[in-house]
Structure 1
């Protein structure tokens, strides 16, 4: 799973599969939801700098393994906080089958920012029409 947090209530996540994250998977997920003039901040995974270079995007990595969590305004706190809330919310389900993970992520996406505001949006969510979710 990959997660992008652009600002408050602008978090999107993607099911990237069970295998390792790759640059190709990032190419499938990120371009529709990011602008070219962003600063991509990531952990030290090697797919991110390659993706950024290939797309002409600025990139900064935070070295979490070395204990460096913040470098000035550069951090991954929003993503880490989202993952924490997601794991805590999933705990009562005692595990989720991978094939249903997109449904749970969509459900959490709705709850995270109180996105259900009308009967129409409830129906769309029930039918699995989550505009942020992409399965690669």
Structure 2
């Protein structure tokens, strides 16, 4: 909630980053401070200034995939009228499964769920 902080990034993002990663973010100063403090390569895209893509020797740098995922997630969560933060990992896993394209119907999802429950007994 609210703007991301360097402390939050250190707690929640740092454990998942390789040292040789290129961190591509929006222009929030917390990302720059985080990357500098941990020696992580960082490129920022200033979306508020109208710059959505930056050229880079290895290809274009943008955050559109993240923005698109965030929009799909928000639209998908809307009918739930909000979720408790403690259950967010479950909803994210559910959404990831749906985005993967392997589950294409409610029937298939139901059969998978029953199979998992049945195998635990």
TM-score calculated relative to the size of structure 1: 0.65
Gaps of 5+ in 2: 104-111
**Compared CA separation, residues 98 and 30, structure 1 to 2 (3 A):** closer
Q: Which runs of structure 2 are paired with 1:1-136 in the superposition (5 Å)?
A: 18-72=1-55, 73-113=60-100, 123=116
Structure of greater Rg = 2
Q: Which has the higher contact order (CA 8 A, sep 6+)?
A: 1
More strand as a share of residues: 1
Alpha-carbon deviation of 1:71? 0.9
Return 5+ residue gaps in structure 1 as ranges.
1-17, 125-136
More helix by share: 2
TM-score using structure 2 length: 0.72
- Tell me, in whole angstroms, the C-alpha distance in 1 between the residues paired with 2:2 and 2:66: 20
Deviation by residue 1:65-112 (Cα, 9 ceiling, x = unmatched)? 111100121100110111011012112223323343333223212322
